[in-house]
Amino acid sequence: MTQATPPLEGEPLIKPSSTDHALYDSVVEACRTVYDPEIPVNIYDLGLVYTIEINDENEVGVTMTLTAPGCPVAGEMPGWLAEAIEPLAGVKQVDVQLTWEPPWGMDMMSDEARLELGFM
């Protein structure tokens, strides 16, 4: 297994999303329909969706992580997310990639998720 090149100083650990794309908000809402079966909060608000990239051909690429590498649904969660996004009007194709860098932490949760889980 090859070691990933460490990011350059000042380079973000998480690639920015295509927030200015017309489909972005719809894709985010689709992400919010997918839940980790062990946690009553959607994966977007949990901070598991790192990057949503949408190109000019409306192909959607999502980089996501899981709360832990041993997550029992690790093999299924990317498929659930792709199935939530694919039916959106205008989406041509969806590719969901799993990453462990940077590792997920509770600080990545939205305020809504922290409130829901009793951390606020």
Confidence (pTM): 0.86
Q: What digits encode the pLDDT tens for the residues 30-67? A: 999 999 888 889 999 999 999 999 999 999 999 999 98
**Helical axes 24-31 vs 77-85, angle rounded to 10°:** 140
Q: Does 105 have pLDDT greater than 60? A: yes
Q: Is the Cβ–Cβ distance between 23 and 91 less than 8 Å?
A: yes
Output the CA angle 27-30-36, nearest 5 degrees.
Answer: 125
Q: Does 118 have pLDDT greater than 80? A: yes
pLDDT computed for residue 31 by the predictor: 97
Helices (H) and strands (E) in the chain, counts: 3, 3
